[in-house]
Amino acid sequence: MITKDAFTLDEGAAKVHSLFVETFQALPDAVHSAPGRVNVIGEHTDYNGGYALPLALPHRTYVAVSKRDDRLVRLISAQESGVREVNLDEVDTFDSQNPVAGWPAYVVGVAWALEKAGYGPFPGIDIAVDSSVPFGAGLSSSAALECAVAAAWDTLTETGLLATDEGRAELVKACVKAENQIAGAPTGGMDQAASLRCQEGHVILLDCRDQSVKHLPFDLAKAGLELLVVDTRAPHALVDGQYAARRQACEEAAQALGVSLLVELSADTYQELPGWASLSEVHQARVRHVVSEIARTAEFAELLHKGEESGEFAWERLGQLMNESHDSLRFDYEVTCPELDLMVETARANGALGARMTGGGFGGSAIALVSSEDGVKISAAIAEAFAAAGFNEPHFLQVSPSAPAF
Ligand code: GAF
């Protein structure tokens, strides 16, 4: 069984520091890092104004940076060879025919977006990057990079946004704008909020209507439980059109139902609205997922809150909500794939309290809430089921709610 460990904070910082020194023959001015995330529940709700409930992973992206006195950004990553260069003055010329190619878009896009928000002009930088967030696994490697870079730029320019939660919310906005407009992925903002605004030992209840967050303790070990995270290693990409198609269907349905965002629908009466019958079956199914997922996430958060107050957690119901979430994503939202479904079915059949895909879907990762005693047995069953199905060998991650970008 392959386990993907996070770098320790010292290890990650040391790796990126030496990569910087080897590449640029100088010491960096600063080292920053930001985590990937898993979303416990609340999927495809963020761009509909709903709730999401993510936690920050111990797996982080590290950057070592130095300010330059021109507008050039020189980039090196431990994950590829060769230095790339992008001029900050050319970022504005991005369009879908002429994108900033590949991962540098996430770096220069953040400076571009912060400048658009009135925080510039920013200097060029030399930057070295290394990461233990698995790529393409639905665990927000892109957001981790954007948020580490946002932290770095904030320090280098003494903008001071990292120091407060309001400032962090401002950085989230810039990272989302960079991802939407420069990297070309029409994502909703949950990942960046998780990376910049989570707290160690907690999940956040993110209300995407007003971007407010509530920090809820999430101490599974105390309850004899753990969260199994499995990277199915099924190919996954958010820019391939499927994610955008789901988002567009929600916008079309909202318009037909006379609301600006699906979160405004009442869960009890939305099917009685005059526009409902005119929606296609597919559109109706998409709406059903979003409305029910928002309700499930609210209930999940409420149960965590009550559990914290009373000391009695309704773990069975929490697991059931995760199961219902996956089934809704599978049958109504149609964003799962055979690997995600097999992971979930195997985890459930082997005693998980609940299991579901996490993130955008179409591949990527799934999670299971399991008792600590069963973790190894369930992981082994998943690995075996994947081998029998002829799928890629899954990777397992050990996680606990970790610190935000700093
Ligand atoms: C991806 C996106 F980046 C998020 O904004 C969110 O929509 C998620 O998919 C689905 O919940 O991670």
ipTM: 0.99
Q: What is the pLDDT of residue 92?
A: 76
At the top level of CATH, the class of 2-217 is alpha beta
Asked whether 359 lines ligand 1 (CB < 6 A), one says yes
CATH code of 221-398, in short, is 3.30.70.890
pLDDT at position 176 = 97
**70 part of the active site:** no
The radius of gyration computed from the CA coordinates of the chain, to the nearest angstrom, equals 21
Centroid of ligand 1 to alpha carbon of 373 (angstroms): 31
pLDDT in tens, 28-37: 999 999 999 9
**Long-range CB contacts (within 8 A, 24+) of 70-74:** 70/123, 70/124, 71/123, 71/124, 72/124, 73/104, 73/107, 73/108, 73/111, 73/124, 73/125, 73/126, 73/127, 74/24, 74/124, 74/125, 74/126, 74/127
How many whole angstroms separate alpha carbon 257 and alpha carbon 276? 6
- For the stretch 152-206, pLDDT in tens is 999 999 999 999 999 999 999 999 999 999 988 899 999 999 999 999 999 999 9
Q: What are 331-372's pLDDT values in tens digits?
A: 999 999 999 999 999 999 999 999 999 999 999 999 999 999
Name the pLDDT band for 95 (thresholds 50, 70, 90). Answer: low
Q: How far, in Å, from the CA of 238 to the mean position of ligand 1?
A: 9
Instruction: Give the dihedral sign, CA 339/344/345/346.
Output: positive
> Beta strand 354-358 with 212-217: parallel, antiparallel or unpaired?
unpaired
Residue 24 vs residue 184, higher pLDDT? 24
pLDDT at 337: 95
Give the end-to-end CA distance of the chain in Å, rounded to a whole number: 32
Please name which of 147, 171, 149, 173 lies closest in space to residue 160, comparing C-alpha atoms. Answer: 171
The yes-or-no verdict on residue 384 having pLDDT over 60 is yes
Q: In this model, does residue 151 exceed pLDDT 80?
A: yes
Per-residue pLDDT at 236 = 62
Cβ(178)–Cβ(146) under 8 Å?
Answer: yes
List, for residues 269-328, the tens digit of each pLDDT value.
Answer: 999 999 999 999 999 999 999 999 999 999 999 999 999 999 999 999 999 999 999 999
Sign of CA dihedral 113, 118, 123, 129: negative
Residue from 190, 192, 195 whose mutation best tests the ligand 1 pocket (most atoms within 8 A of CB):
190
What is the residue extent of each domain of the chain? Answer: 2-217, 221-398
Encode burial over 15-40: b for 16+ CB neighbours within 10 A, e otherwise: bbbebbeebbeeebebbbbbbbbbbb
